Chains A and B, each alone.
Chain A
């Protein structure tokens, strides 16, 4: 069975030859391919080249267009700073919605309008052409809390939950609408799975998560499902207090960052949820040895049980020793579910 078949079979609960391996690589991939990260993030051809290169070299089961959270915000008109060899960064001091009243006048960008979102859609298309028969192709969008934070400024958004909940809802409404269209464009371009990154969701606590964030995440997940793609949810950080909600979104794959033990994820989400993760990207994957990486993944697998995909808690850090990444995939190849 090839990589794509392996992941799809695993998600459907059919038998697989080995565990799938789906670690997130961005800067690591760029570095491996000798591509400056500024180019990786802004030119889909370079991203595709690097993704194909690492998927081949390390035998990952998928390729992805994830690059940085600024694509949608940039197309909305936010000030984004670009660097030669770092991820683009949104200028929070000059956030697009520093003045909340601008939201009413904000038009959702066309994902095929020639901007950064379009660049990502083209990335999906080219990945599909290049390796789509063999590897699973992953598209990427931001979730309501993360994208809301990108547009409003994360420090301001945190306080809005108390000061102006109606604005928070309007903002998330806008985001879900925009991200739904972005997901559609990527699925039409060939994405098998859509990753939803919602980092800021781990910062708000269970009360606000359930009341404000979860309902919009749910709508987004449902939209992607109507498009016929699977969903991978990725919330960075300490998600221990919101695991139950994450498990009720109906995502095919839920990522766990290293701060949320796999056993807790399993207990909160039940035996059927496919969990992905979650070794500490820095302390274990980057600073460890092939043996310690292998052992740490083994422990994750033990806690997760068979509904499990091999990966780190978050992005593979750029200066990770390649032999550690190989050890991670080797664990997958040496184990059936």
Chain B
């Protein structure tokens, strides 16, 4: 097994300390920081997403895998800063909309996007539209990912989009929405750019949309 294969396994198994150690080992042996993503981290999180879809993984497994992935990316990110060949896949401002406190799904989406190479600005839960607008400006984001788990708060996705429009930022960002009650039809009706039914779908969508942003 190569160090990349080992790292991939460590992430899937949720072994954060091991993932950190293997990342160091890979770097010491001369691997380029940017090569860790396509060769270990992204395939690992794709596999985690697959197992989640197949109900082989449940929330605890997904959360510890994401933590292990973060142990690796925390070491790698600072080393990527000067690397001209890599830019973050994009900057994602994410959060659960106003009035809504459900964040497990949003956290998983954020962690998977992070592993896929996006920089994440997580605004947390119960996020007011103004905060989203501000963050898009401050962070120069190109993607906004909104989560809602309540039928009563889904409408606040619309409010958030309206606020981005009013601030003249709508065309600067792609907007993804998700959460259990959200549907494709709803995403269309509020003028979002895409809907993802789960975290792997969020990653596919973000990749596709960010490429065209």
Contact = CB atoms under 8 A, between A and B. Distances in A.
A90 to B, nearest CB: 8
B122 interface: no
A161 B60 CA distance: 7
B104 interface: yes
Nearest to B62: A158
A205 B58 contact: yes
A155 B64 contact: no
B55 interface: yes
Contacts of B181: 282
Contacts of A161: 60
Given A89-B101, A203-B104, A282-B181, A159 B61 contact: no
Given A154-B104, A159-B64, A203 B59 contact: yes
B139 to A, nearest CB: 21
Nearest to A93: B124
A204 B101 contact: no
Nearest to A205: B58
Contacts of A318: 152
A159 B101 contact: no
A89 B59 CA distance: 22
B65 to A, nearest CB: 10
Nearest to A283: B181
Interface in A71-127: 86, 89, 92-93
B110 to A, nearest CB: 12
Bin the interface of chain A by size: 20 to 34
A42 B169 CA distance: 42
B107 interface: yes
A155 B107 contact: yes
A162 B101 contact: no
A135 interface: no
Contacts of A204: 58-60
A282 B63 CA distance: 28
B14 interface: yes
A205 B99 contact: no
A204 B14 CA distance: 15
Interface in A163-211: 203-205, 208
Given A92-B101, A203-B104, A286 B151 contact: yes
Contacts of A154: 104
Nearest to A237: B180
A82 to B, nearest CB: 13
A240 B54 CA distance: 13
B193 interface: no
Given A86-B99, A203-B104, A159 B58 contact: no
A92 B103 CA distance: 10
A317 B103 CA distance: 20
B207 interface: no
Interface string B1-39: 000000000000010000000000000000000000000
Interface string B65-84: 00100000000000000000
Interface of B: 14, 55, 57-61, 63-64, 67, 99, 101, 103-104, 107, 124-125, 151-152, 181
5 contacts: A155-B104, A158-B104, A205-B58, A240-B55, A318-B152
